[in-house]
Structure formats: C-alpha cells, structure tokens
Amino acid sequence: MAYDEDLADRLRELVYGGDDVVTEKKMFGGLAFLVNGNMAIAASREGGLLVRVDPATSDTLQRTTKATPMVMRGREMDGWVRVPADAVRTKRQLTAWVTRGAGYARSLPPKR
C-alpha cells in the first residue's frame, strides 16, 4: 500500500513555513518531512502517521492518545509513534501531531 497522497498534501500545508528548512523524502514506503535535516513526521504506507517525539513523552502519548509504538523489524523504536488515520481526520488533530513532531525535530541539532 502506498502512502495517502491527500494526507501528504495536508501535512505539506502545516509543515512548511517559518525559518526552518523543510524537505521531503520518500522513506519506508511513505513520505517523510524533515525539519532542518531531522525526520519529524511521515505519511505512512500503512496509513496514518509516523511521528518523531521526545522519547520521554512516548509512554504518556501512548496512554492518552491513539498513538502506538512504531515497530521496525520487530523492535519498538524509542521516540517514534504511529498515529492511525482516524486520529488525524480534522485539521486540529493533524496540527497537534505536526506541531509535536516538527517541534521535537527542531530541538535537535540541524543536519547538513
């Protein structure tokens, strides 16, 4: 399954802007958005989003939202969560996740 093009377009509207350097890159069958070279959020090929978050907040987010751990090759990836499509239907819902992912990526040292 390919990533949701409509979701990718919605992400574009929210991610671009400001002083950050934002780039897009096809990764893991989805479309990732990198802020200052750090992956922030992606439209997943499995539907919904992959979101980079502060690892210290992962457990809380998984208890208080529909986010689940991101699993790659059978291993949970600390600092990454998967958010189902039904949890980002509205602009408000999507904006909250974009803000979280881009904010964390922005807090990291820029990559060249």
Rounded to the nearest integer, the mean pLDDT of the chain is 94
Instruction: Tell me the C-alpha to C-alpha distance, in Å, between residue 96 and each of 39, 72, 73, 75, 106.
Output: 17, 24, 28, 26, 15
Q: Say how far apart CA 78 and CA 53 lie, in whole Å.
A: 9
What the chain holds in terms of domains, given with CATH numbers, is: 5-107 (3.90.1150)
Question: What global pTM score does this model have?
Answer: 0.92
Task: Work out the average pLDDT over 52-65.
Answer: 96
| pLDDT-derived band at 51, boundaries 50, 70, 90 | very high
Task: Work out the average pLDDT over 47-57.
Answer: 96
Only one residue has tokens 């990764």, namely 27
Chain centroid offset of residue 103 CA:
11
Instruction: List Cβ neighbours of 86 (8 Å cut-off, separation of 6 or more).
Output: 48, 66
